[in-house]
Structure 1
């Protein structure tokens, strides 16, 4: 079923569902068994691989504390040259910048913005009310909790876990204190690290693999351990402004 026009330069696979008011740019490639809900905007040169679902509306679980009541969300917008991997789910109300890449099975919730040239790895989850900047790498199976902020040029290794609820979901008081972690520009998080609610990882700071971060990390500082403790400064040649690809 295709209810929206598709430019002649774009191609559509088999068993594709495209609802009303979808905008498809030039030279877009859509694979098999893709579902595109109403209102989605797909920029020129984008690639949507098999089984992806674009523009899904959120469903609120009875005990969910971070999913709002049903409201009319703006359309999902994909910029130019976006690649959406097989079986990805990207919700209505997300805004995706140019040349963003999603690995297979990644999930992005509503009220999320992702900047240009960012990579969201295979199986990664980005929850609602989250902002991710440009040229970031969120690696496979990372979990970015709701209400998090990841600034430009950040790196999040595989299986990193963000958290936003210090009360572990029992008292109503907890709802006053929800806050995801904040990663300042160029921050790097090693594999399997855990970031507790509301911690701020300073500009160009580095969190070692397996660390549990319970308090703010100063800029340009390496932390490690459980709980994480300051170890040493980040070497000068590792600072983001000293990299050839850095554009400010």
Structure 2
């Protein structure tokens, strides 16, 4: 185990084997850190959080020469809120903020300039790319891909294998860099398994996109869209609307 002398450690912190804690890390009380965890410089882990085996916290991004969305800039330290759970083999970058009670499944990757709201669940193997905002009480299920420059508002649901995209030019021409934009999901929007959402698309409040759908145009609030390309099917049933759910809190 290596713990920097400049690290600030709270009470009743538990450590696994082979843990590395770098300079100026802050770990508050009652944190549990698994085996082979690396906590990079300046990272803050707040009270009661649990970090799974082989996870890396506060990684600095590497920039490929051809990358169009990764910036070379100084990033603020990673902040892990109170009572956050992070699974095994995750990589969470410097410059991210995970608010209280977030849950991150095994093998997830969360990039820089990402903020995730309270009580949100990031499922196993999910990738969240940079410059993305995720609200509170969101659920993103196994192996979903959230592209850079996306916005997901409160209470959204994203099923397994959903793919967000942000480049209508598929990597060709310099002109494309002016138009990079991921999808925006408004409050309560739901996306079915294996759906693909094209760049810049807005999915309206309480809208539902069915499994396997390819969304090429904006989806109005409270509508169900299906097919390739997506077409309107009908209204979302009233009993499924967010306002009629027992768990809903008007935030």
TM-score (normalizing by structure 1): 0.99
2:38 to 22, 35, 38: 35
2:164 maps to which residue?
A: 162
Summarize the alignment of residues 27-176 of structure 1 with structure 2, pairs less than 5 Å apart.
27-68=30-71, 70-176=72-178
Separation in 2 of the partners of 1:14 and 1:5?
A: 19
| Structure 1 residues 31-79: Cα deviation after superposition (integer angstroms, max 9, x where no partner) | 00000000000010000010000000000001100111x2110010011
Q: Residue 9 of structure 2: SS of its match in structure 1? A: coil
4+ runs deviating over 2 angstroms: 5-8
Cα shift at 1:207: 0.1
Query: Partners in 2 of 1:108 and 1:136 — Cα distance?
Result: 15
In structure 2, distance between residues paired with 1:207 and 1:5: 46
CA contact (8 A) 2:98 2:116 kept: yes
Residue number in structure 2 paired with 1:234: 236
SS in 2 for 1:175: helix
- Superposed CA offset, 1:94-122 (max 9, x none): 01110000000000000000000000000
Structure 1: runs of 5+ lacking an equivalent: none
Aligned length: 247
Gaps of 5+ in 2: none
In the TM superposition, residue 16 of structure 1 has moved relative to its aligned partner by 0.4
- The answer to whether structure 1 residue 210 and structure 2 residue 180 are counterparts is no
